[in-house]
Amino acid sequence: VIGKHSGSAAIKSKFMEYGVELSEEDAQEVLGRCRQMAMDKKRSLFDKEMAYIYKGYLAEKKRNQAG
């Protein structure tokens, strides 16, 4: 369960379940976004929501690297 009190190890572990190995930098960024969404929704996040956050982060990271 990922929520506002989760740490980067929990995020890394959750993504490893799906074969995605996050760097510490990526884990910290995704964690911040997950925490914010969890606080906004006032509940823990579903895996689908974390995947959505991760996809958005990757797209943003790619745009920043290209620009």
pLDDT class for 45, splitting at 50, 70, 90?
Answer: very high
Q: What integer pLDDT is reported at residue 37 of this predicted model?
A: 96
CA distances 31 to 39, 46, 66, Å, are 12, 14, 24
Q: Is residue 1 in a domain?
A: no
The range of the structural domain enclosing residue 54 comes to 8-66
Residue 63 burial class via C-beta count within 10 angstroms: exposed 0-12, middle 13-18, buried 19 and up = exposed
The answer to whether the pTM exceeds 0.75 is yes
Q: What integer pLDDT is reported at residue 1 of this predicted model?
A: 77
Q: Is residue 2 in a domain?
A: no
Is 80 exceeded by the pLDDT of residue 67?
A: no
Q: Is residue 16 in a domain?
A: yes
CA distances 13 to 45, 64, 66, Å, are 15, 26, 29
Task: Count up the domains in the chain and report the number.
Answer: 1
